[in-house]
Amino acid sequence: MILEIIKYPDPFLKTHAARVESVDDSVRKLIDDMIETMYYARGIGLASVQVGDPRQVVVLDVPDEDENERAKGKNLMALVNPEIVSTEGETLYEEGCLSVPGVTADVERAARVKVRALDRDGKPFEIEADGLLAIALQHELDHLSGVLFIDRLSRLKRELVKRKYKKSLETEERAI
């Protein structure tokens, strides 16, 4: 089922997601619905908070660096109770967000991350990532802590992005 993606400035996006006590059928259903929603919205990642669920769940399908088009499902992963256990280096990447549509900004992130999580069956795993996958993991895990990519910008840049976003919403309303 395709879920509604919550848009900025909805206060629910500031929710600190709760740990999942056990991976059961309700969590697997959430994962499946989030995957369907992410593909429908043409995203590469989605956090549960973005669809109004306060549990720590993230789905990702990040294309390989050399792919022009994503091979749908090729790199699909679900992470329950994900946590970053180590980071390395720094990088700058132009990010966007399904909850802040039409807006992008350069965000400074760690260049490499190691993340620990549970899979859709409740089995623990770790993933080491760099490039776009490392960026997407950090971006989605931020959502579980109530942090949007625009919160990582300087105050001046954040205000510029907010104005641009507000203007795009006004333009969209006039077009309806």
Q: Where are the domains of the chain?
A: 11-175
Q: Report pLDDT digits (tens) over 121-154.
A: 999 999 999 999 999 999 999 999 999 999 999 9
Q: Give the chain's residues under pLDDT 50.
A: none
Catalytic site includes residue 140 = yes
pLDDT at 74 (0 to 100): 82
User: Please, are residues 43 and 36 in contact by the beta-carbon 8 Å criterion?
Assistant: no
What is the CATH class of 11-175?
alpha beta
> What is the structure's pLDDT at 67?
62
What per-residue confidence (pLDDT) applies to 176?
59
Q: What is the pLDDT of residues 100-109, one digit of tens each?
A: 998 999 999 9
Specify whether the CB–CB gap between 102 and 168 falls below 8 A: yes
Give the per-residue pLDDT at 114. Answer: 98
pLDDT of residue 129: 97
Find residue 100's DSSP bridge partners. 97
Nearest residue to 148 via CA among 86, 96, 84: 96
Q: 4, 36, 108, 140: which is the annotated catalytic residue?
A: 140
Contact in structure between 3 and 41 (CB atoms under 8 Å): no
